[in-house]
Chains A and B, each alone.
Chain A
Amino acid sequence: MSLGEFLQRATSPWMREGGPQDDIVLTSRVRIARNLEGVPFPQLETDSHANQVIERVATALNSPAMRKLGDFELVRCSNLTPLDRAVLVEKHLISRDLAEEARHGAVALRQDEVISIMVNEEDHLRIQCILPGMRVDEAWRLANTVDDALESELTWAFHERLGYLTACPTNVGTGIRASVMMHLPGLVISGQINRLLSAVSQVGLTVRGLYGEGSEAAGNLFQVSNQVTLGESEQEIIQNLTGVVLQLIDHERAARKALLQANREALEDRVCRSFGILAYARRMDSKETLQRLSDVRLGIDLGIIKGVSSRILQELLVMTQPAFLQKYFGQELSPEERDVRRAALIRERLRLDDMEVRG
């Protein structure tokens, strides 16, 4: 299979398609936590409870309300190879916890991979919607529709005062976590990022790296999400997040403009060096890959590099992850082998686009 075909088949829409403000916002994601009434949370579930939850979800997926929303495939994690589970993690469709630790984990995926429903993770259900670009409001509306449709068959654990009950009290109430993945190289290069992120934390939001809790902020990628889930309505949470993200976008655009004005040559040199390395290097580790991809993407956004798809950042940041690489090359690879193959894959991907570097 050619790389082009593999890309079409193996990538999710959020990696291939664009959306509003997609020069800065890569994806918008909303997940809502729900639990079934009268069943212990997954932490204390017995085997029979866990199976019961999966069966009830399977029934709910077959309800008329859910069928209207598309075709879902429900798979138990135990029926997936560790490599396939890792690929789903790298595509942000399931969490690392579900892939590695959940004894009775399952996932329901809609064919287009916009909607995924994790079963028996920390909570019985985690409904997730992921869309490219700044569409967090749309992602919430979609997740809300899925929630309503599932509720036609399932009864949620709900408390009159505390709202939706979740295994961890940090999710209780709305159970919502809305997050926006942003590419902020301008703010990082100009040294403004720490000041801005600490301001963000003052208004009830948190910032994390590419792969969620505990991951590094490699490649100048940041996930901004709400921290508080109780006491504010879903709309208020989405509005608050949107307001802050739009401000961050303005700051990022201003920072990029200022960098170009203050030292165009230095910026062009940085961007083109990274492009040269990606186009010719024979060994690339993940960390350097992300950094170079971030530079190249900035170069594309600023018109320094032409003829290369701006999708290249989100495509390659997933494609060059360990599990995806092994999936593409169809074999197990040691970290050293991965570095060699990663470099080869990047070179090949760059050749897919008609390369033309201005200068």
Chain B
Amino acid sequence: MLCQRCQQRPATVHFTQVIGGDKTEYHLCDQCAQEKGDLLSKAAQAFSFNSWNPFQFNQLLSGLLNMESSPGFSSPPLTQLRCDHCGLPYSQFTKTGRFGCPHCYDSFEARLEPMLRRIQSNTTHTGKVPLRAGGQVKVKKELQRLRRELQQAVSLEQFEHAARLRDEIRRLEQQLEE
């Protein structure tokens, strides 16, 4: 087996990371493993508990993020990607493991998916929904449905029905603004 990272030398270091039942396997050559030694030793500590040196999850996380962008891992090179809301450069996120604002999750969505799959068990929230925002989520979904229905009604020239839909949409929009 060739090294996953350089694709040149044979892989001699094999490492499996298991989070929430999801396995990620790493196969690296001695040299690449050495270069990623920090990451691997951190990860090994975290998952084997053979030694009790401090385990900094952030370092492991940023290690994984950098690994994603290193040669051999088929991600495009990092560009000047920034959050369009707070301006945080993606490169800073990979160093600190911290986002700048709630919108960063949308700005970096494409890169977030594979990372979340690695560090979390899934990429969809199934837990608690806030009472307030939860209500808004419901209203937004209802609005989308009504707008589709309105278009259909207009195209079918069902104007009375369309007028009722329009009033309902206005009511919900007002509710959202409040």
* Residue positions of A touching B, CB distance < 8 A: 35, 37-41, 43-44, 122, 144, 147-148, 151, 155-165, 167-170, 172-174, 176, 193-194, 197-198, 201-204, 206-209, 213-217, 227-235, 237
Which chain B residues numbered 116 to 146 have a C-beta less than 8 Å away from chain A? 116, 119-134, 137
Q: Are B125 and A162 in contact (CB under 8 A)?
A: yes
| Residues of chain A contacted by B100 (CB below 8 angstroms) | 40-41, 43-44
Q: Are A151 and B54 in contact (CB under 8 A)?
A: no
A233-B126 CB under 8 A given contacts A172-B120, A204-B121, A208-B55: yes
Whose C-beta in chain B lies nearest to the C-beta of A154? B132
| Residues of chain A contacted by B121 (CB below 8 angstroms) | 204, 228, 230-232
Across chains A and B, which 3 residue pairs bring their CB atoms closest together, nearest first? A231-B122, A163-B125, A214-B54
Whose C-beta in chain A lies nearest to the C-beta of B18? A202
A158 and B21 CA atoms in complex are apart in Å by: 26
A207 and B47 CA atoms in complex are apart in Å by: 10
Contact of B97 among A170, A173, A216 (CB under 8 A): A170
Give how many A-B residue pairs fall within 8 Å (CB-CB).
Answer: 161
Which chain B residues numbered 19 to 73 have a C-beta less than 8 Å away from chain A? 19-21, 46-50, 52, 54-58, 61
A176 and B120 CA atoms in complex are apart in Å by: 13
Q: How large is the interface on B (under 10, 10 to 19, 20 to 34, 35 or more residues)?
A: 35 or more
| Residues of chain A contacted by B88 (CB below 8 angstroms) | 44
A44-B49 CB under 8 A given contacts A161-B124, A228-B20: no
Whose C-beta in chain A lies nearest to the C-beta of B49? A197
Q: Are B120 and A231 in contact (CB under 8 A)?
A: yes
B154 within 8 A of A: no
Q: Are A167 and B98 in contact (CB under 8 A)?
A: yes
**Would you list 15 pairs from A and B whose C-beta atoms are within 8 A, ordered by A residue?**
A40-B86, A43-B100, A144-B128, A158-B129, A161-B124, A162-B124, A162-B125, A164-B125, A172-B116, A174-B125, A174-B128, A203-B21, A228-B119, A232-B121, A237-B127
